């Protein structure tokens, strides 16, 4: 019962976090389910909770589950490439397919830029800037000082500003 409330409370935040990591709504759904399965299995272990909050820990579990999913997907794709190609199936009739494809395209572009950052800075961006985890909580979950985390976020912002110099112009147009 308590775990169900935990899911109800944090599923959307985990789902959005995973989408930001993967750029795929479909994969985000699968990884969110896997994240809560892992959390359920590890519920007896001593999870790193910050001020009694479980969200930062869940987001780290989601990040690790995403990495595991990517490794599995790479192996799966390698196996598929060895098979002859199949004919295309019919179009997906879902009404929101255009929006989902656009979201995924945009997220792919964003992820291409983010992959140029060091892993520690990507994690800081994903936790603090994308998912809104407070610096102190994110630092505790990652096992670093708050100052170190703030430095990572600052360096990431500076690098991103150099990597996407016209990003500020696009923001001004909005």
CATH classification at residue 67 = 1.10.10.10
pLDDT at 95: 52
The answer as to whether 51 is a domain residue is yes
The answer as to whether 8 is a domain residue is yes
pLDDT at 173: 46
The answer as to whether 87 is a domain residue is no
Domain of residue 152, residue span: 2-81+98-167
Question: Which residues in the chain show pLDDT less than 50?
Answer: 91-92, 170-174
The answer as to whether 172 is a domain residue is no
The answer as to whether 127 is a domain residue is yes
Using the Cα atoms of residue 102, residue 104, residue 109 and residue 110 in order, give the sign of their dihedral.
positive
The answer as to whether 92 is a domain residue is no
- Select from 113, 119, 97 the least CA-distant residue to 25: 97
The structure's pTM equals: 0.60
The answer as to whether 107 is a domain residue is yes
The answer as to whether 38 is a domain residue is yes
Alpha carbons 66 and 22: distance in angstroms, whole number: 8
- Mind listing the pLDDT tens digit for each residue in 18-33? 999 999 999 999 999 9
Look at the chain and report how many structural domains it folds into: 1
């Amino acid at each position: 019962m308590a775990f169900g409330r935990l899911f109800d409370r944090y599923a959307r935040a985990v789902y959005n976090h995973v989408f930001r990591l993967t750029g795929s709504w479909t994969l985000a759904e699968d990884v969110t389910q896997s994240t809560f399965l892992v959390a359920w299995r590890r519920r007896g272990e001593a999870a790193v909770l910050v001020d009694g909050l479980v969200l930062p820990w869940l987001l780290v579990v989601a990040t690790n589950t995403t990495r595991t999913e990517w490794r599995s997907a790479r192996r799966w794709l390698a196996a598929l490439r060895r098979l002859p190609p199949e004919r295309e199936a019919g179009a997906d009739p879902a009404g929101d397919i255009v929006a989902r494809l656009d979201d995924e395209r945009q997220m792919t572009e964003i992820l291409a830029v983010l992959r140029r950052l060091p892993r520690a800075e990507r994690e800081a961006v994903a936790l603090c800037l994308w998912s809104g985890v407070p610096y102190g909580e994110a630092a505790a979950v990652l096992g670093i000082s708050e100052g170190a985390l703030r430095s990572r976020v600052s360096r990431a912002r500076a690098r991103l500003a150099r990597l996407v110099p016209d990003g500020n112009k696009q923001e001004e147009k909005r």
